[in-house]
Structure 1
Amino acid sequence: MLSIKLITLLAPLTVLGAYTPQSRSSDLVVRDNGQTCTVQSGGSNSTDDSPSFRDAAKQCANGGTLVFKQGVDYYFNTPVNATLNNVNIQLNGNIHLPQNITYVQGIVNGSTGGNVWWINLTGDHLNFTGSTNLSTGWIYGHGQQWWDANPKNGSGIASRPHLWRFNVTNSYLKNIKIRKPIAWVTTLNGNNIDVQNVFVDAATTPNGGFPFNTDGFDVAAKNVKISDFAIYNGDDAVTINNGGENVTVTNGLIAGPGCHGTSIGSLGQAQGVYQTVRNIWFDNIKVHGCVYGSRIKTYLGGQGIVQNVTFSNYDVSNTTFPIYLTQNYFNQGSSQTQNGAGVQDGGNYGGRVDNSSVIIENITYKNWKGDINTYHPGDGSCVTSPCWYDVPGSDGTQAIVIGCSNSTTCKDFRFQNIQVIPQSYAQTQINCTNLDSASNPNLGLVCTNGTLITK
């Protein structure tokens, strides 16, 4: 297992500069009233264990301990929602989602808005702990059949559920093991959350369907620490969404079959909504076989700000675009938001009005090493021609791809000690647009398409 570290959480940042979090101790210990509620299992997938969880959660909702029994299989055939304050949850058994696709789609389609989190937990001082025993304490999504059912040139079949959401304060998750999630895995909302020791296995079988939208973490919370994790998936490993603030993500391994790295956004999809992400630090991340190492993505015509972000100490291998930023994001999964491949090809924006941009400022990339996927770029998620991740002029040698909307939308960028080389040992290249020297006085490189030149 990955090592468990003492909890540290961020203090708000009050000045601009390369973002390095300031830690503060936080004792996230629940007030235990001594009551223990054991979740009962019916013993097979023909019996829904969700009502048993609801009953236990209601009984121990304030100050109790919920226990899933060691080595026991639980079948959550219907979604569960619970509000739990000062509660410990101990996952010593295994949770299974239903395996009937049509049945699950019916539940999703019957929900308001078409979004379902199969497990949805809210509360204060909610601590969720999995087992350190590798033979138990798993959450099984049974997602392979969903991936295999995806039609040719499809980007994921309709009406897929999210796995789980934590809308919590002063809480932690640790020792989490998830296998074959259907799609979006962990959503974090709230404030003051610590996540430790997480393994997500969303890797498809040989010649299996692509695991579209298997995001590891979608974070829209404040004061969050995610540490010591391994994620194998087909989308962003960790993405910071609108409202994410004071977040550290450290000590991670992310890998294919088609991972999209550590991400900010996408932001600005709804053109009339102002969105923000501030004070984010990614550090000590290993990236293997991914399309991206890090990515910042905003829509043309969006509004908002991305401010104070550091990507430091990345070790990348066999990665197509190690460092990537676009202010003209292209979403192949939705014709409504389709806006073309972006500024790199002169623009093809599908009707979106180019009247604003999400401002991106005070961004630092430092201490990157590794190699570019020169010979077999991309992954198995391409369903369009040209491919959604195609960058015109790229040839497997670009360590950095930056596409800013204009000379004022990307400010105070810094690149330090970037040593990423093509697998062919050709010269490292850069594809760079609109990192203007006046707006970026300490850029550390020359922003021009061609050979990467550092200062």
Structure 2
Amino acid sequence: MLSLALLSLLAPLAVVQSAIIAPLTRSSDFGRTVTARDGPTCTVKAGGSNSTDDSPAFSDAAKQCADGGTILFSEGVDYYFNTPVNATLNNVEIQLKGNINLPQNISYVQNIVNSTAGGNVWWLSLSGSDLNFVGSTNVSNGWINGYGQQWWDANPANKSGIANRPHLWRFNVTGGSIKYLKVRKPIAWVTTLSGSDIDVQDVFVDASTTPNGGFPFNTDGFDVSAKNVRITDFTILNGDDAVTINNGGENVTVTNGFISGPGCHGTSIGSLGQAQGVYQTVKNIWFENIKVQGCVYGSRIKTYLGGQGLVQNVTFANYDIVNTTFPIYLTQNYFNQGSTQTQNGAGIQDGGNYGGRVDNSSVLIDGVTYKDWKGTINTYQPGDRSCVSDPCWYDVPGSDGTQSIVIGCSNSTACSNFEFKNIQVIPESYAAPKINCTYLETANNPNLGLVCTNGTLVETA
């Protein structure tokens, strides 16, 4: 089950989250063998205030303990990372017993991001092998504070996030683990996983906005492009995907999670195929035991029209859905409403072509199973406050708050070997659940388990 320490973190949010969080069954213990470390312990020195940059002190400790050592952030101490840090570490454990604070000056951070080639900055970038990050089970310590609320509140009207926002951190390792990660108010994207053989356990991300506060755009919990990954026992409150599997993600298991708003997008595959001519793949993905409350999506697969690639062997199993607009959603006509920071060229949305993308190919999707879903559709107040485009980016033509399944394949051969088993998701109005379904042809989906037609959901034997 979720650790008592992490459950205690959620106590202040109990009213907002309607006390729906319940203990979840934990997977078996991780199978990674952690190499014994016989190197030194390097304690990161703190300057004592936000006027002193502690990033160089971390870099010094990382150099001294780069091979076989332990890097320690002292118990209860506040550290101020006023500049981005990068470290390559092998057979190292990082123990975060204090708290890491990002700068609170927006223009200062923007200038750093803007001056970086490509405009992409991870404030903390870690690479290497056999690298283990361990936070704290103490509710008061082990936090990474992003101070994102002021960024969200500063977002201009009809814009999806102000310019030059940094990613929080990147974990690019061959063999590694993350345990007891706690993040408060990230500016935007939280954790990027790349590399291979990574275990993640006991995570709490709080990107919930204050009442009437700005929307937390792009606060993805995990963006995964790594191979052989396990993520388990997590709570993510945010305004985007909780866990998304991107190009290169393979053999990924995501279990035992609670996902909630203010504008969460559940668990996702993609988006894929944005750069036409670049072949992208996601393979062997398993999501199970996921609770989703008050989100736009429960699960989502999203690919661009005219993209190239393959999504293969994906399972979404045992989902509890509460007050969610589109529980099961797939589109091969994805359109990202985002700014130029998050989108290189426009895509397409039903009802209009934006940017003139050529419909000459599709990201093929083969072998997707949805099984054992139960819960309620957000019938009365669908969507969230993230819509800044016209038509709204999450509008589905013909939807009326009763669609439990929305599947939009781009042609009759792009989606194959889909299966739906025991889908018991109903509208809050108790009307009959419906589906919005195109191009799931029987010839390519012999065990589909439903009738693919826009109308009342009918499951077959």
TM bracket, shorter-chain basis: over 0.9
Letter of the 1:419 counterpart: Q
TM-score normalised by L of structure 2: 0.93
For residue 337 of structure 1, what is the amino acid of its counterpart? G
Per-residue deviation, 1:349: 4.4
Q: Which residue of 1 aligns with 2:130?
A: 125
Aligned to 1:279: 284
Which runs of 5 or more residues in structure 2 are unaligned?
Answer: 5-26
Counterpart Cα distance in 2 of 1:48 and 1:25:
36
Give the Cα–Cα distance (whole angstroms) in 1 for the partners of residues 245 and 435 of structure 2: 25
The letter for the 2-side match of 1:3 is S
Asked if 2 retains the 8 angstrom alpha-carbon contact of 1:28 and 1:170, the reply is no
Q: CA deviation at 1:338?
A: 2.1
Equivalent runs, 1:113-192 vs 2, <5 Å: 113-192=118-197
Aligned pairs for 1:60-99 (under 5 A) are 60-99=65-104
Shift of 1:146: 0.3
1:3 aligns with 2:3: yes
What is the SS of the residue equivalent to 1:136?
A: coil
- 1:26, CA displacement in angstroms? 3.4
Q: 2:349 aligns with which of 322, 341, 350?
A: 341
Q: CA deviation at 1:170?
A: 1.2
The AA in structure 2 aligned to 1:266 is S
The answer for unaligned runs of 5 or more in structure 1 is 5-21
Give the 3-state SS of the residue equivalent to 2:196 in structure 1: strand
Give, in whole Å, the separation in 2 of the partners of 1:223 and 1:170. Answer: 9
How does 1:56-455 map onto structure 2 within 5 Å? Answer: 56-334=61-339, 336-342=344-350, 345=351, 347-455=352-460
Select the residue among 29, 34, 57 that pairs with 1:29.
34
8 Å contact from structure 2 (residues 304, 348) kept in 1: no
Q: Give the distance between the partners of 1:361 and 1:340, measured in 2 at CA.
A: 22
Conserved in 2, the CA contact under 8 Å of 1:432 and 1:449?
A: yes
Aligned amino acid, residue 453 of structure 1: V
Distance 1:349 1:436 in 2: 28
Question: Which amino acid is 2:312 matched to?
Answer: Q
TM-superposition CA deviations, 1:361-412 (whole Å, max 9, x none): 0000000000000000001100112210000110000000000001100000
**Residue identity matched to 1:288:** Q
What per-residue deviation string (whole Å, max 9, x for no partner) do you get for residues 3-55 of structure 1?
Answer: 39xxxxxxxxxxxxxxxxx9997333133124100001011000000000000
Contact 2:30 2:199 in 1 (8 A): no
- Counting aligned pairs with the same residue, the percent is 76
The match for 2:20 is none
C-alpha contact (below 8 Å) 1:210/1:381 kept by paired residues: yes
Give 1:427 deviation, angstroms: 0.7
CA displacement at 1:350 relative to structure 2? 2.8
Alpha-carbon separation, structure 2, partners of 1:224 and 1:27: 11
Structure 1 counterpart SS, 2:204: strand
Paired with 1:432 and 1:31, the residues of 2 have a C-alpha distance of: 53
Q: Name the TM-score, length of structure 1 as normaliser.
A: 0.94
Once the two structures are TM-superposed, the CA of residue 256 in structure 1 deviates from its matched residue by: 0.4
Give deviations 1:107-145, integer Å, cap 9, x for gaps: 001111110000000010100000000011100000000
